[in-house]
Amino acid sequence: MNVPVPSDPSMSVFCLHFLGGSAQSWDRVMAQFPSGLRGVAIDLPGFGEAAAGPQGYAVADMADFVAARIAAAAPGRWMLAGHSMGAKVAAVLARRAEDGQAGLEGLVGLVLLAGSPPAPEPIEAAKRQEMLRSFGGPAALRDDDASRYVEQNVGAPLAAEAARAAAEDVRRGNPAAWRAWLEGGSLEDWSARIGVLRVPTLMIAGEADMALGPAAQHRLMAPHFAAPTLVTLAGAGHLLPMERPDAVARLIAAHAAGAATGLEQRYQALIDGERMSERTRAVLRARGQPDEPGSPAALSAASFALLRAVAARVLPQPEPAAIDLAARLDAQLASGPGDGWRFAALPADAEAYRLALETLQAAALAEHGAGFVALDGPRQDALLQRAGAGALPAGALQPDALALWFQDLRSDLVRLYVAHPATLARMGYSGVFYGGDGEPKPGFAALGIGAREAWEPQSLQDATR
């Protein structure tokens, strides 16, 4: 079982916009992508720079258009992110990729944001008529309508500049393309053709999205995917890439990290198999969910930012990082039962973290005139090295206590990291696959040196040696 790992470690994400949007609706998302992720936003026919471009606005036409762009880019491993109308096009492309269409090799992940489903999208007749009236005719008539269209589709108002840019996109769309989607594309039924897709899929929904929110995604979209993950963004409406660019970027990056090797897909099949108990499966599924961005629960925002920077040095993950270790650690500090003991030289866990981070920050400021987060990697490492050696100046914590905290930190982070199914997949770890729920319980027979049962997964390290 060999896993192809291309020499170029980066991955492309092709981003498809919503009805009335354009490539630029993805700008603020792509700006947040980590270095290993290359965003490529595409203007669909009739929109953005392609407003007056090639004709052909049916779903299949749009898919052909995008497929040609992808084939031309020859991206190696790539992902598709589709927003609303773009999601329907993305699902069609994923079907073609799974069917082996030339030029579409290498699709490793799909992200659907407030996606329009493969089946006809339920749009109220009045709403459809209103949009046709506003955007299906001459451009001059629809300046106000464009602004209102944006306002109606967000959970909370966008910043003025973002709202203005979005409305401008809406206004410049080709009326024929609008009409084609409202009277054609959105009503096309692709459900039978798309069937069930195997590609790892992340669905993101806005809680306040009236038409294509979490319930609609669960009902209309989820059945088309073998193992979809659904994330709901609290308070968000329909225009997710513009409303929540940071969160969307982080979720896409995490999904990309999981999809990067393809190892996870095979591991997922084992998790779904009969060797794993239902309870263990439920635990791993829950833990494998992407981290939903939010405010820290135990730490202040400043301490949390510092913890995030520290975690990235103590347990570096390939960019994009799959697991938000700092967020999980913060949640654990806020709610966890602890591990049954603590160093008598340290206060209770959450307080110890707060004081330790404060000490670290003070040392960074004293020595470099800049906060820890602003330092480069080697400088951050040097401070952590000395913290671990009890060699940082006394601050909120004494040097010896800080060294003990650094021990706790390493332990806390690595436990969260290794317990995550993405890490277990990387490790080629077979141990969780025993017992199932029936009798007799499957165990292990191949036990000696070098003994491996045929189904046991291989580690990434071994697979790429």
Partner 1 sequence: MRLDGMRRHALTDTVDAVVIGTGAGGAPLLAKLAQAGLSVVALEAGRNHDPEQFTADELTAGEIYWLDERLSAGAMPQAFGANNSGTGVGGSMLHWGAFCPRADPRDLRLYSEQGVGTDWPLDYAALVPFYEEVEAFLGVSGPASYPWEPARRYPLPPVPLNAPAEAMRRGCDALGVRTSHAPVAAVSRDFEQAGHGRRHACIACGYCHQGCRTGAKASMDVSYLPLAVAASAEIRAECRVHGLERDAAGRITAVVYREDGVDKRQRCGAVFLCAGAIETPRLLLHLGLANGSGQVGRNYMGHVATQVWGTFEPEMRPNKGFPASLISEDMLRAPDADFAGGYITQSLGIVPVTWSDQVARARGLWGQALVDAVDGFNHVAGIGINGDVLARDENFLELADEVDELGMGKPLIHFGYGENERRMSRHAVRFMTAVWEQAGARDIWSMDRAAHTIGTCRMGREGDSAVVDPFGRSFEVENLWICDNSVFPSSLAANPALTIMALSLRTAGKFLSK
Q: Which is nearer to partner 1, 39 or 428 (CB)?
A: 428
Q: Which token pair is 255?
A: 């999904």
Judged by CB under 8 A, which stretch of 46-54, 131-139, 157-165, 334-342 contacts partner 1? 334-342
Please tell me whether residue 280 binds partner 1 under the rule CB under 8 A: yes
Q: Which is nearer to partner 1, 51 or 306 (CB)?
A: 306
Q: Which token pair is 422?
A: 């993405």
**The dihedral sign for the CA sequence 145, 149, 155, 158:** negative
Please tell me whether residue 328 binds partner 1 under the rule CB under 8 A: no
User: Hey, is 460 helix, strand or coil?
Assistant: helix
Judged by CB under 8 A, which stretch of 83-91, 236-244, 247-255, 342-350 contacts partner 1? 342-350
Please tell me whether residue 125 binds partner 1 under the rule CB under 8 A: no
Please tell me whether residue 407 binds partner 1 under the rule CB under 8 A: yes
- SS3 string, 234-290, reads CCCCCCHHHHCHHHHHHHHHHHHHHHCCCHHHHHHHHHCCCCCCHHHHHHHHHHHCC
Please tell me whether residue 411 binds partner 1 under the rule CB under 8 A: yes
Interacting residue with partner 1 among 11, 107, 384, 392 (CB under 8 A): 384
Q: Binders of partner 1 among 53-112, rule CB under 8 A?
A: none
Length of the chain: 465
Q: Which token pair is 253?
A: 């990056």
Q: Which is nearer to partner 1, 45 or 388 (CB)?
A: 388
Q: Which is nearer to partner 1, 207 or 462 (CB)?
A: 462
Q: Are 290 and 254 in contact (CB under 8 A)?
A: yes
Measured from the CB of residue 280, what is the shortest distance to partner 1 in angstroms?
Answer: 4
For residue 240, what are the CA distances in angstroms to 29, 165, 176, 232, 266?
Answer: 10, 15, 25, 11, 31
Measured from the CB of residue 258, what is the shortest distance to partner 1 in angstroms?
Answer: 16
Q: Which is nearer to partner 1, 101 or 459 (CB)?
A: 459
Whole-number Å distance between alpha carbons of 352 and 331? 15
Judged by CB under 8 A, which stretch of 18-26, 72-80, 176-184, 403-411 contacts partner 1? 403-411
Measured from the CB of residue 419, what is the shortest distance to partner 1 in angstroms?
Answer: 5
Measured from the CB of residue 409, what is the shortest distance to partner 1 in angstroms?
Answer: 9
Measured from the CB of residue 430, what is the shortest distance to partner 1 in angstroms?
Answer: 7
Judged by CB under 8 A, which stretch of 145-153, 169-177, 205-213, 406-414 contacts partner 1? 406-414
- Is 419 buried (19+), middle (13-18) or exposed (0-12) by CB count in 10 A? middle
* Residue 279, C-beta contacts closer than 8 angstroms, at least 6 positions apart: none
Please tell me whether residue 428 binds partner 1 under the rule CB under 8 A: yes
User: Hey, is 417 helix, strand or coil?
Assistant: helix
* Residue 461, C-beta contacts closer than 8 angstroms, at least 6 positions apart: 428
Please tell me whether residue 283 binds partner 1 under the rule CB under 8 A: yes
Q: Which is nearer to partner 1, 221 or 404 (CB)?
A: 404
Q: How many CA atoms lie within 13 A of 248 on its CB side?
A: 31
Q: Binders of partner 1 among 300-319, rule CB under 8 A?
A: 313-317
Measured from the CB of residue 437, what is the shortest distance to partner 1 in angstroms?
Answer: 8
Please tell me whether residue 415 binds partner 1 under the rule CB under 8 A: yes
Please tell me whether residue 452 binds partner 1 under the rule CB under 8 A: yes
Instruction: For residue 461, count other CB atoms closer than 10 A to its CB.
Output: 10
Phi, psi of 154 (to 5 degrees): -115, 155
Interacting residue with partner 1 among 138, 378, 440, 465 (CB under 8 A): 440
Size of the site for partner 1 (CB under 8 A): 65
Whole-number Å distance between alpha carbons of 388 and 402? 7
Residue 419 CA from chain centroid, whole number: 19
Instruction: For residue 346, count other CB atoms closer than 10 A to its CB.
Output: 18
Q: Which is nearer to partner 1, 57 or 267 (CB)?
A: 267
Please tell me whether residue 344 binds partner 1 under the rule CB under 8 A: yes
Please tell me whether residue 254 binds partner 1 under the rule CB under 8 A: no
Residues lying near partner 1 in the complex (CB under 8 A): 276-277, 279-280, 283-284, 313-317, 337-345, 348, 381, 384, 388, 404, 407, 410-411, 413-415, 417-419, 423-424, 426-435, 437, 440-452, 456, 459-462
